[in-house]
């Protein structure tokens, strides 16, 4: 039983590390391509019309949401919130049953 639990922990940690690796690769690609687009934008019109910022903004939103997922950052509805709501609903059900008994 202990070996199975350790194996599960290992696989979960490995999956999380793989997600982080993909995230950091995406961040490096983001920086590289946005810099390339900025250079192209500068070459074409001297940054008088910085159109590369649209690509930076759109892709940046995707990177932001990927970071939220990879680093398990849920400010509003995290595990503590879930646990609190479950306890609340269990108390409500218990009080309903006691009320009718």
pTM over 0.85: no
Angle between helices 2-45 and 52-70 (to 10 degrees): 170
Segments making up each domain of the chain, as ranges:
2-70, 76-101
With a cut of 90, say whether residue 100 has pLDDT above it.
no
The C-alpha atoms of residue 89 and residue 80 are separated, in whole angstroms, by: 14
The C-alpha atoms of residue 40 and residue 52 are separated, in whole angstroms, by: 9
Q: Minimum mean pLDDT among 8-17, 24-33, 82-91, 92-101: which range?
A: 92-101
CA nearest to 60, candidates 99, 25, 30, 18: 30
């Amino acid at each position: 039983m202990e070996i199975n639990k350790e194996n599960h922990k290992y696989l979960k940690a490995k999956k999380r590390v793989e997600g982080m690796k993909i995230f950091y690769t995406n961040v490096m690609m983001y920086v590289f391509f946005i810099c390339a687009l900025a250079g192209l934008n500068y070459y074409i019109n001297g940054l008088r019309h910085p159109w590369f910022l649209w690509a930076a903004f759109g892709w940046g939103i995707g990177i932001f949401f990927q970071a939220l997922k990879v680093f398990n950052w849920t400010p509003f509805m995290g595990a503590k919130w879930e646990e609190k709501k479950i306890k609340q609903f269990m108390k409500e059900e218990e009080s309903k049953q006691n009320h009718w008994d």
